[in-house]
Structure 1
Amino acid sequence: MFKSKQPAQPQTQQGGKQMAQQQKPQQPQQQLKPIVLSQIPNISSKVLNLTSIRDQSKLDLGDAISTLKGSKAIVMDPKLIGLLNLLADPTFLQNYGGEKRYELKEGRLDTECKNIVYIVRPNIKYMYWITEHVRQHQSENLRKEYSIVFVPRATILCSRVLEEEGVMGNFVIHEFPLDIVPFDEDVLSLELSNSYRELLLDGEKTSLFWVAKSLMKLQAMFGTIPIVKGKGQCSRLVMDMIVRMRKEMSEEVTVPPEIDSLILLDREVDTITPMCTQLTYEGLIDETFGINNNAVFLDEGIVNPNQGQQQQPNAPPPPPTGKKVPFPLHSNDKVYSEIRDTNFSVLSGLLNKKAKDIDEYYKMFKTTQSISAIRDYMKKLSSYQMEHNSLRIHTCITEEILEVTKSNSFMKGIEAEQNLLAGVNLENVESYIEDCINKKEMIHKVLRLLILYSATHNGIKPKQLDFFKREIIQTYGFEHKITLDNLESLRLIRKSDTRATFPNIRKDLHLIVDDLNEQSPNDIAYTYSGYAPLPGGWRHIEEVLRLLPGPTFEEIQPLPQGATSNVKSDRKPITLVYFIGGVTFSEISALRFLSRQDQANPYKW
Structure 2
Amino acid sequence: MLANMDNPGIVADKESEIILPPPTPLNPLPAVSVALRLDNKEQLLTLLQSDPSAGLASSSFRQLLVFGTESLRTLLLRQVLSDPHARTFQGKKKNWDSHLFFPLPASITIVGTQILNQEHGGDETEGNVDVITYFLSPADLSQMHLVAKYIRNLKKSFRIHHRLIFLPQPSAIIHKMMKDLGLTSAPNVSIHRLQMDIYPLETDVLSIEYNEAFRECAVESTPSSLISTVARSLLKLQDVCGKIPRIQAYGPLGEEVARKLFSLTVDEYLADRDRPEEQSGQVISGGDVTALIIIDRKVDLVTPMISPLTYEGLLDDVVGIDCGFITLDVSTINPDENDNTDALKQDQVKEKKKELVSLGVNGSDTLYAEVRDQHVEKFGSFLQNQAKALRESHANFTSKDKKKDLAEIHQFVKNIPVFTQNLRSLTNHIHLAELVKHTSEETTFRERWQMERSILEGDTCYDMLDDLVACQFPPYRFFRLLCLQSLCAGGIKSSRYDSLRRDVIQTYGYEYLFILGNLEKAGLLRRRDGLWIDTTSPFNNLRKSLILINAEVDTVEPDDVSYVSSGYAPISVRLIQTAMKGWNGRDEILREIPGRIVDVEQHSPPQDLASALKTPPNKTLGALAEVEVADGVKGKKPVLIVTYVGGVTFTELAALRFLSKRPSFPYHIVCLTTKVMNGCSFLQSLS
Aligned residue among 172, 190, 197 for 1:179: 197
Counterpart of 1:26 in structure 2 is none
C-alpha distance in 1, partners of 2:192/2:514? 37
* Partner amino acid, structure 2, of 1:83: L
**Is residue 362 from structure 1 mapped to residue 394 from structure 2 by the alignment?**
yes
- How far 1:344 sits from its partner (Å)? 0.7
* Partner amino acid, structure 2, of 1:279: L
> Secondary structure at the residue paired with 1:246?
helix
> Secondary structure at the residue paired with 2:556?
coil
C-alpha distance in 2, partners of 1:199/1:528? 28
Larger RCO (alpha carbons 8 Å, 6+ apart): 1
Counterpart of 1:591 in structure 2 is 656
Matched ranges for 1:565-580 at <5 A: 569-570=632-633, 571-580=636-645
**Is residue 276 from structure 1 mapped to residue 306 from structure 2 by the alignment?**
yes
RMSD value, Cα:
2.7
Q: Number of paired residues?
A: 550
Distance 1:519 1:494, change over 3 A: same
**Is residue 76 from structure 1 mapped to residue 77 from structure 2 by the alignment?**
no
TM-score normalised by the chain length of structure 2: 0.75
TM-score normalised by the chain length of structure 1: 0.85
Counterpart of 1:493 in structure 2 is 525
* Partner amino acid, structure 1, of 2:595: G
Q: C-alpha offsets along residues 48-107 of structure 1, whole Å, 9 cap, x if unaligned?
A: 121101111111112222331224224131341111121112544444514323114353
Counterpart of 1:550 in structure 2 is 595
Alpha carbons 1:183, 1:293 under 8 Å: kept:
yes
Aligned residue among 131, 152, 168 for 2:168: 152
C-alpha distance in 1, partners of 2:439/2:227? 38
Matched ranges for 1:64-463 at <5 A: 64-68=47-51, 69-70=58-59, 71-77=61-67, 78=69, 79-84=71-76, 85-89=78-82, 90-105=101-116, 106-109=118-121, 110-111=124-125, 112-122=128-138, 123-137=140-154, 139-140=155-156, 143-167=159-183, 168-205=186-223, 206-249=225-268, 250-251=271-272, 256-303=286-333, 322-366=354-398, 367=402, 369-424=404-459, 426=460, 429-463=461-495
* Partner amino acid, structure 2, of 1:195: A
Structure 1 unpaired stretches of 5+: 1-38, 310-318
C-alpha distance in 2, partners of 1:422/1:522? 21
Q: C-alpha offsets along residues 211-257 of structure 1, whole Å, 9 cap, x if unaligned?
A: 00000000011100100011100010011101111111123799951
Structure 2 unpaired stretches of 5+: 10-19, 22-26, 52-57, 83-100, 277-283, 340-348, 607-627, 673-687
C-alpha distance in 2, partners of 1:473/1:166? 39
Distance 1:41 1:305, change over 3 A: farther
- How far 1:391 sits from its partner (Å)? 1.3
Counterpart of 2:38 in structure 1 is 55
* Partner amino acid, structure 2, of 1:202: E
Distance 1:478 1:171, change over 3 A: closer
Alpha carbons 1:343, 1:518 under 8 Å: kept:
yes
Distance 1:593 1:53, change over 3 A: same
Q: C-alpha offsets along residues 11-39 of structure 1, whole Å, 9 cap, x if unaligned?
A: xxxxxxxxxxxxxxxxxxxxxxxxxxxx9
- How far 1:144 sits from its partner (Å)? 2.7
Distance 1:178 1:377, change over 3 A: same
* Partner amino acid, structure 2, of 1:170: N
Q: Report sequence identity in percent.
A: 27
Alpha carbons 1:281, 1:343 under 8 Å: kept:
yes
Distance 1:437 1:572, change over 3 A: same
Counterpart of 1:4 in structure 2 is none
C-alpha distance in 1, partners of 2:328/2:646? 28
**Is residue 604 from structure 1 mapped to residue 671 from structure 2 by the alignment?**
yes
> Secondary structure at the residue paired with 2:200?
strand
